[in-house]
Amino acid sequence: MQIGKHTIGGDAPAFIVAEIGANHNGSVDKAIELMKLAQEVGADAVKFQKREPSACIPNDQKLKMKETPWGPMDYLDYRWKLEFGKDEYDQIASVAEVIGLDWFISVWDAKSVAFMEQYDPIAYKVGSPCLTDKGLLEAVRATHRPAILSTGMSTLEEVNTAVAQLGTTNATEIVLCHTTSAYPTPIEDINLRVLESYKKRKMFQIIPGFSCHHTNTITPAIVAVTLGAKYIEYHFTDDPVQWGSDQPISLDPTEFAALVHDVRQTETILGDGQKRVLSSEVAAMKKLRRYITIEEPVYAKG
């Protein structure tokens, strides 16, 4: 499977994504700064989110008041305040091309898919809240682009249905991404053995992935890689204490650099699984290996 410049799956290294999401707080300058920081600390790609707030927000939530950096406003206006349009994505696309960084989008509705097609995206992500949105899944499938599907707050039956809907034309082009939709996720609820269940699927050639919402630890990513995850996604910020709902579950640049380092080291440690005498063992083998070249003496009784 190819996503942008990167091969995903097989013997290829895990694809590590910095989820900027809405951590830009509505500022395209901040978004570009985060893109550059993510590239500096080793991210393979960055991801944003695109939605039509009027279509995606439940009616009973739209007029609820929220305290924001721009003062009190209803939730619908707040979501529009965070939303990027063509001018902002034109700038993001331009910067990404100049610095050579892959980027893509979590889409929340079919209209957003249509909007993003003008940027020839390398893939689409369907987040856990949208897993049961048949219209969105069909819109993503119709683009024939690689799809990443997060599976939080879903039953196995719902996951099966969503994979079938996405896989009608993308049968070998799906990353099935285990996640737990709790922010932050209690460590006992991360449940990474689900990855083993996904790897055993036979209906499609699924590539397993992991999206983490736990706070301040990269250990789940290391375990996920040892279980075969080929896609790793963490939220990314330059300051996890600043305002924003996703900031507290995001890695800062130092933490994200450690994530990349430890994932790559883990991949090296895992090796290729072939048992043989390694070149690093030869000196010790010559010095320490005991070979029996003659029969042990047989002693007579008495």
Provide φ and ψ at 183, rounded to 5°: -130, 95
User: Residue 171: its pLDDT value, please?
Assistant: 47
What tokens were used for 164? 């079938």
List alpha helices for the chain, DSSP H.
28-40, 53-56, 59-62, 75-82, 86-99, 110-116, 134-142, 156-167, 194-199, 219-226, 253-270, 282-288
Q: Is 275 exposed, middle or buried (0-12, 13-18, 19+ CB in 10 A)?
A: exposed
Among left, alpha and beta (phi > 0; psi -120 to 50; other), residue 271 is left
162-207 per-position pLDDT tens digit = 999 988 655 457 999 999 999 999 999 999 999 998 887 765 678 9
CATH number for 2-273 (one of 3.40.640.10, 3.90.1570.10, 3.40.50.300, 3.20.20.70): it is 3.20.20.70
22-68 per-position pLDDT tens digit = 999 999 999 999 999 999 999 999 999 999 888 888 888 888 998 88
Q: How confident is the model at residue 289 (pLDDT cuts 50, 70, 90)?
A: confident
Share of residues in the chain with pLDDT > 70 (%)? 94
Mean pLDDT of the chain: 91
Distance of alpha carbon 210 from alpha carbon 59, whole angstroms = 31
Query: Which residue do the tokens 């393979």 mark?
Result: 44
